[in-house]
């Protein structure tokens, strides 16, 4: 079987198929074909069907359903074990890479989620600060109106500042207090 055919049927890269042959064949890096026995062991190791099932056989090993790898007759046992170990290492490496990619994706999703949360929090805080400032301005305006009403009762109105600044508010309260104090002094005499 050609290496290119094995690559397609095993769903491995050419480098991975060649790496399974390290220690099994001397020409692992340059061969164009692999033996049927090599393909069969590699195929069994990756869980693929080694050969299409025949009509007469219902044996689990020919259907690719067995998890036990069946030895092949035309290869020394040591080389078979080397080939199977190579496949395990390659598949293990692919699993590690797959897990790493999944971890990276989950991490990216977590980072994006955190950015959205922080952005929403900042927006909510700005909105809340604007609402509080608006309520403070309304409260200051109401208090200034109450002060002016009280001032009007003593006939010395205080002008409301254009912008409700805290210093203007405090000055208005002081002025109103002075006016009320002077009216009280006049009434005591």
- pLDDT reading at 58 higher than 80: no
Q: Which has more confidence, 96 or 41?
A: 41
Task: Identify whether the C-beta of residue 21 lies closer than 8 Å to the C-beta of residue 34.
Answer: yes
Contact 106, 130 (CB under 8 A): no
Residue owning tokens 């700005």: 126
In terms of residues, how long is the chain?
A: 189
- The closest of 41, 43, 55, 37 to 6, measured between CA atoms, is 43
5-26 pLDDT, tens digit per residue, is 999 988 888 988 898 898 888 9
- Other C-beta atoms lying within 10 Å of the C-beta of residue 180: 16
R_g over Cα of the chain: 43
86 close to 41: Cβ distance less than 8 angstroms: no
Render pLDDT for 131-149 as a digit per residue (tens, 0 to 9). 999 998 888 888 888 877 7
Q: What is the pLDDT of residues 64-119, one digit of tens each?
A: 444 577 888 788 888 888 888 888 888 877 766 777 788 889 889 989 999 999 99
């Amino acid at each position: 079987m050609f290496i290119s055919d094995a690559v397609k049927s095993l769903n491995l890269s050419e480098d991975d198929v060649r790496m399974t042959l390290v220690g099994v064949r001397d020409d692992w890096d340059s061969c164009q074909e692999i033996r049927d026995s090599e393909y069969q062991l590699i195929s069994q190791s990756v869980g693929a069907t080694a050969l299409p099932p025949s009509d007469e056989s219902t044996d689990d090993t020919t259907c690719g359903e067995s998890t036990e790898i069946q030895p092949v007759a035309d290869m020394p046992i040591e080389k078979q074990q080397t080939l199977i170990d190579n496949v395990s290492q390659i598949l293990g490496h692919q699993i590690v890479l797959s897990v790493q990619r999944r971890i990276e994706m989950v991490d990216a999703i977590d980072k994006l989620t955190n950015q959205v949360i922080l952005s929403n929090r900042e927006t909510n805080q700005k909105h809340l600060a604007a609402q509080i400032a608006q309520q403070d301005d309304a409260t200051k305006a109401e208090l200034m109106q109450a002060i002016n009403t009280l001032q009007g009762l003593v006939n010395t109105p205080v002008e409301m500042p254009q912008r409700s600044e805290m210093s203007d508010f405090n000055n208005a309260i002081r002025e109103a207090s002075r006016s009320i104090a002077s009216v009280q002094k006049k009434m005591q005499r």
